[in-house]
Structure 1
């Protein structure tokens, strides 16, 4: 298998420096008109840096391990979905790799968790600003010769660990700050006998897709990353008709897109399914729900009382 280096992008430190510069030049002044008076730009930059890397600015990743039934996950998550989680092209790419990304209001997480039913295990990790690649999810693959689909291409893997690595940093936009996140699947090969053999042995870490999956997280929402078979769509039925009328809640169903021909065959999982599904096929085993929670402190939010239109000539400013 051809190996690739980890993807290269403009250093996220440059993006952070830009945000720090904005804070240093103006956003550090606070509500007191004397704040920052007599301070050098270097002092202001130091304060801005401390704020940027504070414990309330960056990415939190939660993991819920639940039963493997995909319909239970769909029924719990889809009714709470709010707007598009990312653009159409990125959503299609995520779908092709077995991922499904949904955006939900932060205050809906508890009701989603309750709707999922029994939770096998949970975990939470605070990552903050991730300027260097860091793993946020892993899945051991102990059997050699397994294959996964990455962008529609089958990749055969030796025993090792499948990882989802990420970088994340806060960046300003015209509509307010967002958390810019890059996601990349990689694979860490388990050395035979605990050590590499010979100069021709493949590197220990293989990047499965060098082009990061990029999403921008609005701090008003949480983002749920789950796995689903490509081509399967989640649909909701009218709650006033059919079986859903008894409860008044929309009924969720999984629907395979038309166009497939030929007999059913047992094909390799996508990288998303391999990463987020536990052992077993069908409704056996378990599956992970990853919750990406962007945290952006209030001082980075744009002021709400700033006029949106410039003053008209002849009127008081």
Structure 2
């Protein structure tokens, strides 16, 4: 069984690639090692992947992929994207990396893997808009370049499926955290600021925002559950997350409790396009994938703190 993971050196992609390699699959990863954040952090992930036998290719998804990758994959998990809600990222970058890259990947997959069992698009709760508390049947109302272009990418994938050209599904992930989380994301940034005793910038009002914070290990279990279920989930959109909500304030307090030090909070202006509330409605995931998140919020944060200590403080 041959699997391709795009964005394989990133946060969730690296965990997924590592899991499948340890399970004995032939795993190929592709990543462009973007400078959106320090490529050195991705190279740390890449070293972990190489140790478990992942074949990692450094390339951009907008390139001619036939020159970079082998053919005849059984599954493709498409994590690669221009991530996050950032005022410093241009619309052009979101369009290039989320829309054009996805279509180029689809065109290559159709040509080189005619027997592909399933193309798994990795989407986001940001597709829903300010209140991501909806079932998969609701009309999305994204409010950011990120959410809008990820919705467009999702529809490119499902459009190919509706046309009968490829088997595909889309998994909408909710507020993933854990070891290897990107440095600009909430908990890695918070942990670093506490240990460094520097100010932690908190967007005004965001302490009241609630999230379905989902441990990365539970996300990987959802990816694993896809294998062999292509007939059941072909054409489906499925929410993947935790069905328990916590506020940002509660998360900060948990991290302070785990580390034993207080954060130095610095209130900054609200971030345009931010979500007020996310609640993962996962009835469909439970039914189709047998998905059930198992890691408690505290346990997951403890694992993230421990990872940070080992990688950056030891």
Q: TM-score, normalised by structure 1?
A: 0.23
**Structure possessing the higher radius of gyration over alpha carbons:** 1
Greater share of strand: 1
Q: TM-score, normalised by structure 2?
A: 0.23
Structure possessing the higher relative contact order (Cα contacts under 8 Å, 6 or more residues apart): 1
Greater share of helix: 2
